[in-house]
Chains A and B, each alone.
Chain A
Amino acid sequence: MPLDAKFDPATHHFRLVGTRPLRPDGYDKVVGRARFGADASAPGMLVGRILRSPHPHARIRAIDTARAAKLPGVKAIVTRDDFKDGDPSLKDVLVNVMARDKALYDGHAVAAVAATSASVARKALKLIRVDYEILPHVTDVDEAMKPGAPILHGDMRTENIEPAPKKASNVASRCEFGHGDPEQGFKQADVVIERRFKTEATHQGYIEPHACLASVGSDGQGELWVCTQGHYMVRNTCAALVGMDVSKLRVTASEIGGGFGGKTTVFIEPVALALSRKAGKPVKLVMSREEVFRASGPTSSASMTVKIGVTRHGRITGAHADIRFQGGAFAGSPIELGAMSAFACYDLEHVKAVGWDVVTNRPKQAAYRAPGAPMVAFAVESVLDELAHKIGMDPVELRLKNTAKEGTRSSYGPKYNRIGLAACLEAARRHPHYEAPLGPNQGRGIAAGFWFNFGGQTCVSLNVNIDGTVALAVGTPDIGGSRASMCMMAAEELGIEYDKVRAIVADTSSLGYNDISEGSRVTFSTGLATIAAARDAIGKLCARAAKIWGIAPEAVVWENGRARPAGPNAGDFAPLSLAEIAKTAAKTGGPIAGHHEVNADGAGVSFAVHLCDAEVDPETGRVTIKRYTVVQDAGKAIHPSYVEGQFQGGAAQGIGWALNEEYVYGRDGRLQNPGFLDYRIPVASDLPMIDTVIVEVPNPGHPYGVRGVGETSIVPPLAAIDKAKAGKKRR
């Protein structure tokens, strides 16, 4: 359902969209009543715990659980033997959930117990004997690519290279995007710069560890309560992994304490279900923080070579990137997204990005906010900044000269529709921050960022209640205030007050399939489906009014929350409000509901520009962020506070990535900093206020012009901060 050509969101007077009402789930969250993953319990519940490999790479010769099983209070133990091979497309997920022949990283699950208490479960884990044959390991991406590196998977042959390799390697695949011929482009350049970059893996760092409560009966039916970004994905994946009918597993998404992409897969859920089935009792399984760091998804670490050429007048003539991502022990790093996004900000004739997907003895990476893009943007934006400096051009000017616009053929293929990068660059240049004087030892950095945004499968149901209120059921877990935005869009369409709509996240048995809350897709797709469901309901409300009046349904229009005859010929009837029609629904045909099911496309790409001032202590080298401004295109901001929140949160995560967050592996292949003390995410005293500018270039793919805003904000910070740190030297 695209934007109507006659409808301009920039000038349309919205009643609710663009205002800042209180979120419907807010009260519960400030009084401590909201129920997150670990907050549920059930009668007779057991406590689950997972035994994890201390070795980065080891063959598992045998697992002896006999002594643990005899410990009083132990009710079930599961190992690899309890998880049978099934769907080949889920093999890696299964092996990641429970190790098979080998432990592939420090923290890989090898067994799990369910017991009557946490202390019994802990004791039981100590009684399980695992016979390991320790193998050589590799955790660095460049090392893993070298000939002679320890091989993780004997059957891995690099895909997409000619001739097809005969020997196993840690390189899962190669990919390539672009057009033209960069070599020819470099010949036309006055300055060509090539640089090599490395970035370490970071963790999403959600404050709520993974948690679930599983209950499976001997009748084969099960319930699962879980903190996840996608409970339908959890249902389908778990049903396949533990061998259940999809219809027999009902999954409820708890309130979710942060995800950022890290809760888009399964880790402990199939284990909890298997334990529960074996024990015949509910099992609660919660990861410790250490387990979160060691065994849930961090990002890829990256090694990158970027080469860009420009003319003296600031025209980019050629751009090339070679990008190596390790994504942990399994294929599937976000290398394609990284390579596709590398030069997406610019309008280029000669551009190419080559990517390599590499496996190492680290936990399987999971999506993290714009997966793959921040590190690649770091490399590309850094080289651009250096080029701007070299040719003596303002860095914003250089970007404006090459900015992608409507009609530009993107570096990854498709032509852009209406986009907002130029508008963001202009807004950044106009912002008082851009020209503000810098203090001693301070520098300023600027960088641009891109993200694709996604749509996807979405299903929404909207029920009109007897008192004229509306119950809205969506299937996308609310990871940052989306229920508020959905209520606003439904109320806007229906012409009723915001607080008359109540949105819930329905469980998997109550509403049709919904893709995961990821890819910045919720406000776009679920919003689009909510608007369409409201319009569906409006059609039915009009038909009921027509029936009451005894006129044709086409002769009724919906205006300001009321049905009224369309014109003088339709008859002279007093308008009927939604509440009035709802009250008599039983007499006019029964319940009134609107629905919409869609596989949404047209998500509309997103761009941002960040400005950062940093101060470097000349004695200690400590970097302090003094000022930070985020400029980003939201298409149309439904609830501006939560749009700003996404901008600020992404920037803060980027600041952490740039300054102090990093996965540190020792020579022993073990993670050295699996806790918040040593893996230090920014705290309040590390940051300044984060200023935001919401640019609104409507997305033609959404009825109100909405673009997703969740991810782009983590893309520019790495380069912006690095330049701000270095800027001091240059000025």
Chain B
Amino acid sequence: MVRVTTRINGDEVTFVCEPDETLLDVLRDRLNLTGAKEGCGTGDCGACSVTLDGRVVCSCLVLGAEAEGRQVGTVEGIARNGKLHPLQEKFLEFAALQCGVCTPGFLVAAKALLERNPDPTEAEIRFGLAGNLCRCTGYDKIVRAVQAAAAAMRKG
């Protein structure tokens, strides 16, 4: 077992885990942060997306031990003080989720995308989110929700 101290959604957290345990398993099974989902466990679906020092990673491909001294961001940290982020609002308004299992990963990835590029083209959104699979929506409403959120955020 290894002892790890990290920051998750801004708060300091200490946990112990097996040396071969993934960050996704730590978040879900040890810290009860079940927002990130396991869709594949092999880095192909993006349902487990979290940020590590601001960069989007598949938490199923990161070891829990690697979080030592880093900043982890999960879907649970996107709304602040009970207020939804514009992306969350637009996902609801545009019906960008059907089953919603891919939604946490899309929100984490889209937030990072808009932080890098506040005014993305449709193609930039599509390629920026190409690491996240959605089987329900055909992506149309997801792309529109991200466009609308970007516009709302630019207005401030």
Contacts and interface: CB of A to CB of B under 8 A. Distances in A.
A644 B133 CA distance: 19
Nearest to B76: A32
Contact of B133 (A641, A676, A689): A676
B135 A677 contact: no
A190 interface: no
Nearest to A678: B44
Interface in A675-693: 675-677, 681-685, 687, 689-690
Contacts of A687: 126, 138-140
Contacts of A257: 37, 39, 99-102
Given A648-B140, A676-B40, A683 B133 contact: yes
B88 A31 contact: yes
Main SS at interface, chain A: loop
Contacts of B28: 38-39
A677 B39 CA distance: 12
A118 B95 CA distance: 37
Given A20-B95, A649-B98, A652-B139, A684 B74 contact: no
Interface string A640-680: 01101100110111000000000000000000000111000
Contacts of B140: 648, 687, 689-690
A207 interface: yes
A689 B146 CA distance: 13
Interface in A20-63: 20, 22-23, 25-27, 29-36, 38-39, 41
Give the residue among A32, A119, A208, A288 with the most B Cβ atoms within 10 A.
Answer: A32
Contacts of B135: 204-207, 258, 260, 649, 653, 681
A37 to B, nearest CB: 9
A208 B39 contact: yes
A260 B136 CA distance: 9
A255 B97 CA distance: 13
Interface string A284-303: 00101100000000000000
A677 B37 CA distance: 18
Contacts of B29: 41
A280 interface: no
B18 interface: yes
Contacts of A33: 35, 76
B84 A34 contact: no
A675 B42 contact: yes
Nearest to B40: A289
B39 A31 contact: no
B93 interface: yes
A38 B38 contact: yes
Interface string A7-29: 00000000000001011011101
A124 interface: no
Interface in A394-447: none
B97 A207 contact: no
B60 to A, nearest CB: 10
Contacts of B44: 289, 675-677
A32 B126 contact: no
Interface in B25-57: 25, 28-29, 33-42, 44-45, 47
A115 interface: no
Nearest to A480: B98
A109 interface: no
A182 interface: no
B132 interface: yes
A242 interface: no
B100 A209 contact: no
Contact of A209 (B35, B39, B84, B144): B39
B37 A288 contact: no
A258 B136 contact: yes
B78 A31 contact: yes
B101 A258 contact: yes
Given A31-B79, A260-B135, A684-B129, A208 B99 contact: yes
Interface residues of A, number: 57
Interface string A183-208: 00000000000000000000011111
Nearest to A691: B140
Interface residues of B, number: 60
A481 B95 contact: yes
Nearest to A45: B29
A38 B97 contact: no
Contacts of A481: 95, 98
A479 B136 CA distance: 9
Interface in B81-128: 84, 88, 91-95, 97-104, 107, 122-123, 125-127
B141 interface: yes
Contacts of A206: 99, 101, 135
A256 interface: yes
B49 to A, nearest CB: 12
Contacts of A256: 99
B75 interface: yes
Contacts of A286: 38
A22 B99 contact: no
A67 to B, nearest CB: 23
A506 B36 CA distance: 25
Nearest to A675: B42
B71 to A, nearest CB: 18
A259 B101 CA distance: 11
B41 A207 contact: no
B88 A652 contact: no
A208 B37 contact: yes
Given A22-B92, A32-B74, A289-B39, A258 B127 contact: no
A684 B101 contact: no
A126 to B, nearest CB: 16
A675 B136 contact: no
A673 to B, nearest CB: 12
Contacts of A22: 92-93
B37 A207 contact: yes
A265 to B, nearest CB: 18
Contacts of B97: 26, 29-30
Contacts of B23: none
A258 B129 CA distance: 19
B95 A38 contact: no
B130 interface: yes
Given A207-B135, A479-B99, A648 B141 contact: yes
B150 interface: no
B72 interface: no
B142 interface: yes
Contacts of B18: 119
A685 B95 contact: no
Contacts of B8: none
A31 B136 contact: no
A289 B135 CA distance: 14
A675 B84 contact: no
Interface in A450-473: none
Given A685-B126, A685-B130, A651 B138 contact: yes
B95 A648 contact: no
Nearest to B39: A207
22 contacts: A23-B92, A27-B84, A30-B78, A32-B34, A38-B37, A207-B134, A208-B101, A256-B99, A258-B136, A259-B99, A641-B94, A642-B98, A651-B138, A652-B138, A676-B40, A676-B133, A683-B130, A683-B132, A684-B125, A687-B139, A690-B138, A690-B140
A-B pairs, 7 with minimum CB distance: A32-B35, A257-B101, A652-B138, A29-B100, A648-B138, A641-B95, A676-B44
Given A35-B34, A645-B136, A675-B44, 8 more contacts: A30-B92, A30-B97, A34-B100, A41-B29, A207-B47, A645-B95, A645-B137, A683-B129
